[in-house]
Chain A
């Protein structure tokens, strides 16, 4: 894979060259791209070689020269459970989903149970908008094969790879679990919102509990999935209504711990990822970008779009997702 931060004209030239591309950038530029073998998603933030930045006049392009074939599909929300039917044997699949869409919600709630989901790396992200436009502009995905723009559904690119290729999809989570019984939560049902929660065996109203305890809602709730730390980020706390909303669903039966505070997000990433990342397709979360003040700060060699949700098989929050491909 090759990552590029390009002008519109350079991106057009790369599309003409024919390699499959995943493109992130402002809608005004995505809308001008010619048809070709590419998928695109809206975001104006990226982690670049020079640090985090707004990319209002450029596009972040990942090129997949290793691919021997690419099939692009747009799935409406009601067909998301057929997602894995397009997997090319031995390949990888990319997925883009607009934030706050019905597909975003459905994938987050049900994706973990889709047939065949885990049979090959499924990497992607949730598309967004400038933060000042969250309530006024709809995030979108662009299907390069058809030239169509979609504000709902999932856009997939299934990549075929040469025989003998090896792939790796993993996450970098800079947060750790606090393991404090007072901030250990079990939810009675799966969902993007919660009212009641069990803390130390006692049921409390989560919104009021967070408010009374003065908990830092910039910290995610972290569950341990058999050794993988999976975050759920808090979107809003409405103490009056007694409801907390999240950027991904909390799962009934999972045990969540509030994360330990972090003083320096960029340093935490650098400590975890070291010198790796060159030639990797990756994305990182808008909340890390905002809460960690990553604008202008470097986070190692993992460069890529800053996104409104990360996908490594399932929807993740406040996480770096990385995909590596090695051909024989």
Chain B
């Protein structure tokens, strides 16, 4: 997934009901952190990308979102 799509995911409120619980909670935490500190977006984006790279299920979760 490209940065643009992941950024939209972190700054939006897309429902991830079909995703794994791990992905739902992690993305929710990152969204809350980005809302609280918008300048943290690049760091949170990197954290999400690292999570996807480490956990194939997360990439599948988000590709289907």
Contacts and interface: CB of A to CB of B under 8 A. Distances in A.
B60 interface: no
Contacts of A169: 20-22
B58 to A, nearest CB: 8
A320 to B, nearest CB: 13
Interface string A157-197: 00000000000111100000000000000000000000000
Interface stretch (A127-135, A146-154, A222-230, A294-302): A222-230
B15 A227 contact: yes
A227 B22 contact: no
Interface string A288-328: 00000000000000000000000011100000000000000
Most chain B beta-carbon contacts within 10 A, residue among A119, A230, A312:
A119
Interface in A101-130: 112-113, 118-119, 121
Interface string A220-252: 000001111010000000000000000000011
B28 interface: yes
Contacts of A119: 54-55
A254 interface: yes
Interface of B, secondary structure class, is helix
B29 to A, nearest CB: 5
Interface residues of B, number: 24
Given A119-B54, A227-B19, A112 B25 contact: yes
B45 interface: no
A229 B33 CA distance: 18
B25 A313 contact: yes
Contact of A314 (B16, B20, B25, B36): B25
Contacts of A251: 32
B35 A313 contact: no
Given A118-B26, A170-B21, A226 B54 contact: no
Greatest chain A CB density within 10 A among B18, B25, B35, B55 is at B25
A253 interface: yes
Given A118-B51, A169-B21, A313-B21, A227 B36 contact: no
A254 B16 contact: no
Nearest to B54: A119
Nearest to B13: A226
Contact of A253 (B16, B18, B35): B35
A226 B32 contact: no
The 9 A-B residue pairs with the shortest CB-CB distance in the complex, in nearest-first order: A227-B17, A225-B28, A253-B32, A118-B22, A226-B16, A228-B24, A226-B24, A226-B28, A227-B15
